[in-house]
Structure formats: C-alpha cells, structure tokens
A and B are shown apart, each in its own frame.
Chain A
Amino acid sequence: MIATKAISRRDFLKLAGASAGGLAAMAALGHGFKTLSASEARQQQEAGKRVVYTACVMCPAECGLAVEVENGVISNIYGNIHVPYNSGTVCTKGVAGLQLVYNVNRIKYPMIRVGERGEGKFKRVSWEEALDYIATKLIEIKQKYGAESVIMDCGDVTDLDPYYYYLFRAFGTPHTVEHGSICDTPRRHGPKLMFGGKRIEPDIMRPVLVRQPDGSLKNDYSYRTRLIIYVGWNPFTATRINYESRGTVEARLAGARIIVIDPAFSNTATKADRWIPVRPGTDADLFAAMLRYILENHRDDDPFRRYIDWSFKEYSQGWEEFEAAFRSWWDRKDPLNGLPYFSLEWAAERTGIDAQTIAELAHTFGITKPAALVWGMNGIGHHYNGYVASILGTALNVITGNM
C-alpha cells in the first residue's frame, strides 16, 4: 500500500475529470501552470461548444459518454465523469464511435441488391419499400413452407436481441438464435437459479454513489473487499465490466489480496498476489472441494475456523436440502480415481492443484471477509462444467456471508 502525502491516489481520481470543482485540488498537485478560477475555466471549456450526454453502443459495456459538439459537428468523445460505471474513462473503441456517424461508407438508407450475389450492385429504396419487400418475402415463405422453416440468427446487437427474438416468435418460428443463446449462459446459471441475479462481481466499482443518512448522495472511494478470487476471469483485458480493470489494482493497493485461478498466466494473473493454474474444465471440481472443506472444517466456537455466516439462513430457504444432497455424495467413491467425491485428494487428482493448496484456498476464502469468489466469461462462461460451477460458487459466496 502506498503511503500518501499531500495528494492521495484517491484525490487524484476525484479530480481526474477536473472541471471547475477540481481546480483547487489541481493547484495542490502543483502542476506549475496558471490556475484559473472556476468560472474562467468553465468559460474556456465551453466556448463555442455544447456537451451532449449519451451512452456508448460500441460494446455491451454501454459506458456513459460526454460528447462535445462544435457548430453541429462532433469534435470529441469523452467519458462522462458523473457515471460511476466508467467514471470519465472511455476506450479507443468508444472514441471510434465517431465513425458510426461520419464514416464515408456508412449505410444511411435501405438498399436492395439488384445484381448477382457478390456483385455489389444495390439500389436505394425508401423504408416503406424495404419493409414491404421483407414482409412479402417472409409471408411468401411462411405460406409455402410454414413459419418454422425460418431461422432468426443475429449477432450481439447490444441488448436489442429481445426485439429480434419477439419479432420472430410472433412470426411463428421457435428457431431463434442470438448471441445470448451460446455466450455466458453457464456463468449466469447459478445466480439466476438461486437468487434471480445475473452474475456475481466484486464490490470494486469506485466511485460509487452512496445515500447518506441526511438523504444526499455522496461518492464513496473506499475499498472494503479484502480478498478477490478470480476464476477463469481476466478483467484486465477487454471486458464489459471495465471498472474491474482499475478497481482490482486500486483494491489491491488498499489491502485486498487477489488470487487468480486460470490455466493461462493471464494479464490479471501478472498483477495478482497468487496465480493457481488449473486443468481446463475442472472449476466445478475445485468449487465442490472448497465447499466440502468449508462444511467439514467449520467450527462455530473457533474464530480461526468460523467460515460460515449462518445469518444467510434468515434470508434464504432450502439450504438443508441443498446440503443433504451435496453431503450424500461424500461417502461414494468416484469410479474414475477411486477417491471419495469432493475430497481434497479427489479434487487434486481432477484439477491438477495439490490438496494442500486447495485446503489453503478454501480456508482463506472462508476466513477472509468481505471476500468475493468471481468466475468469468473466459472459462466457466463457455464450458459445460460452468452450470455446476456457478451453482457451487453461488452457494460458497452465500454461506460465507459474502452476498
């Protein structure tokens, strides 16, 4: 952790978007340039410019943007400093959003192919004509071959997928495929089943707006998470959860321990406290062993082994059945390796991580609070073992009181 002097890293972030409010602090940074008053700065900043606040659609992250418009033409795309999600940041892909508006090859009106496929011959038509053309063709096909002869297939259209989906359901075909059909489903399966959420993320989005007792909203910059375990999740590379790239580093500087479990030595692993390589596709085995270790070794009367926070029972139901079903496997032996299911040795044989490390991992996760066990798109989100892994992972987060 870095000791702070006149300006802490946190203050630095506060004035990263320094407009009027941040100027006094900017002077404290000692930049050596002239310092303007708040009104002077605003005048200079806004001369001849208009700022339009909008959202980015270049990727599913949908960051808040502040778009500067000069005489009716977009001049700059900046992140919106008031949106905590991206906190004033914007990536180069977002800035390239200019090309959505101004690219010379942008298609601005409907075109119907007139030549052979691949010939590149199109004619410009009105929206009326285009819609009629598509509707006539679709109805023709429906009458001739039936509605189910049509497959709707679209890519990731940034949260517009449901409209395509509903349109073709209304048309009468159940054959709808879009990006969400094949991507990230296993990761969300457990949280969706168990508490209706989508995915579990660590509490490291800073600043975050917090309602104060007097009703006002205040930005909170403090990190409370003490341990983050990333399983098959590499937030330092391009990802829609973009606050995790800066939040992970800042949380670590604020004292959190970062453990990365990934077959590859990923970017995130380079900055983590510990990297544990795992055999691909065995994350569920690891989670099962962690859950068994925590259940077997939990002691209510020993502060060094009090892993489970029983208060979760007040807010949930069905733990008894879940636990009984899970425990019922413990005495059985896996025919593949002859070891009892979910034991440390069993998991060691399956995952390639030695038993001692798994025990350590389970103990660390159980004893450190607040902690977060996070699994990601890169591994669990795209593997059939992810369905089980996300259920076990959710249970682990819930019973240790980290939900």
Chain B
Amino acid sequence: MGATWKRADGIVVINYDQCIGCRYCITACPYAARSFDAGYFYSDFEGGQPQPYELLPSPEYGQGRVRRRDASPIGNVRKCHFCLHRIERGQLPACVLSCMGRATYFGDLNDPQSLVAELVSQPNVIRLKEELGTEPNVFYLV
C-alpha cells in the first residue's frame, strides 16, 4: 500500500489514510516498535465512557487527529514518530524533555559537530540487531 516509509531524515512514518490495518508491518518490524490501535480508550477499562481529555486532537504527522470510533487512527498501526510536531517547531521530543534521569538525547547524526554524533562515536555504544542490516538510528549508550 505504501502506507509506511523511512523519511530522508531517518524517521519511519505512517500515512494513516493509506493504512488498511493489515498489521503485516507489526510482524515485519524486528524492533517491536509498532502496535495496532484497536480503538480502546483508557476509560473503557475503568468501566466508563471516553472522557473529554481522551477526545482531544493529538498532533500526528502534521494533523490534529481525534480518536473517534471507526475512524483513523483507530484501526491503523501506530508508532513513535519522535514527536515530529515538536521537532518541527524546534523543541526536543517530549521523552527527552521529561526523562527523570536525563538518559536520552536527540539530534542530527549527519552533523559531525552535533552532540549526538559525538556521543555515538564513543566505544560504549550499541545498536539493536545490527546483523539484520537495517541500520537503525537509535543508539544505546551503555
């Protein structure tokens, strides 16, 4: 379907309007990074109707997507998109900002002057499942 691809900057994205929810990409992803949105709300598990905060638009891929029953992104595959909406306005991803241990970094690896380029040049860096040749851009400083 061509609903998911790797952008030039390395971020793997999904086009919700193209995705038919076949979920083959979930089994294909070696990193278990993807999950299927089956349409549950947190309040469902608490025994109530979706609350107003659950029906606010969430910024994904340039659109404010509202989760409504039987409409995208419900029925699509979803994944971390590195807070594209924040990056585009010059903010760091929310997990980098919020991390209690300040354990996460984000930046441009192609820029040799950047902090992330410096950090990954250390010897104590690994990537998951390198043998698959997927060249992941998530590095673990161990």
Contact = CB atoms under 8 A, between A and B. Distances in A.
B92 A98 contact: no
B99 A41 contact: no
A73 interface: yes
Contacts of A31: 87, 90, 106-108
Interface in A12-54: 12-13, 15-19, 22-23, 26-27, 29-36, 41, 44-45
A191 interface: no
B53 A73 contact: yes
A29 B114 contact: yes
A6 B47 contact: no
Contact of A32 (B43, B110, B115): B110
Nearest to B9: A32
B53 A74 contact: yes
Interface string B9-26: 100000000000000000
A184 interface: no
B47 A5 contact: no
Contacts of B49: 104
Interface stretch (A88-96, A153-161, A381-389): A88-96
Contacts of A98: 53
A12 B107 CA distance: 10
A316 interface: no
B102 A18 contact: no
A250 B111 contact: no
A206 to B, nearest CB: 10
A2 interface: yes
B32 interface: no
A105 interface: yes
Contacts of B98: 78-79, 88-91, 95
B100 A89 contact: yes
Contacts of B97: 16-17, 78-79, 81, 88-89
Contacts, number: 124
Contacts of A90: 98, 100
A104 B47 contact: yes
Contact of B111 (A30, A86, A246): A30
Interface string A95-127: 100110111110000000000000000000000
Contact of A36 (B42, B89, B96, B106): B89
Contacts of A16: 92, 96-97, 102
B102 A249 contact: yes
A75 interface: yes
Contact of B101 (A30, A41, A74, A236): A236
Contacts of B123: none
A2 B89 contact: no
A: contact size bracket:
35 or more
Contacts of B96: 16
B101 A246 contact: yes
Contacts of B89: 36, 41, 44-45
B115 A29 contact: yes
B46 interface: yes
Q: Indicate the member of B91, B96, B108, B118 with the most A CB atoms within 10 Å.
A: B91
A241 B121 CA distance: 32
Most buried by B among A27, A45, A250: A45
Interface string B55-90: 010000000000000000000000000000001111
Contact of B56 (A27, A73, A86, A250): A73
B47 A245 contact: no
Nearest to B104: A16
A104 B46 contact: yes
A324 to B, nearest CB: 45
Interface string B106-131: 11101101110011001000000000
A137 interface: no
A41 B88 CA distance: 10
Q: Which of B42, B101, B119 is most buried by chain A, counting CB atoms within 10 A of its CB?
A: B101
B105 A12 contact: yes
Interface of A: 2, 4-9, 11-13, 15-19, 22-23, 26-27, 29-36, 41, 44-45, 70, 73-75, 78-79, 81, 86, 88-91, 95, 98-99, 101-105, 236, 242, 245-246, 249-250
Interface of B: 9, 42-43, 46-49, 51-53, 56, 87-92, 94, 96-102, 105-108, 110-111, 113-115, 118-119, 122
15 contacts: A5-B113, A5-B118, A29-B114, A31-B106, A32-B108, A32-B110, A36-B89, A45-B91, A75-B56, A78-B98, A79-B97, A88-B98, A90-B100, A103-B43, A104-B51
Given A4-B118, A6-B113, A7-B114, 8 more contacts: A2-B119, A5-B115, A7-B115, A17-B97, A23-B90, A90-B100, A99-B42, A250-B102
5 smallest beta-carbon distances between A and B, as pairs: A104-B48, A30-B111, A246-B102, A6-B113, A30-B108
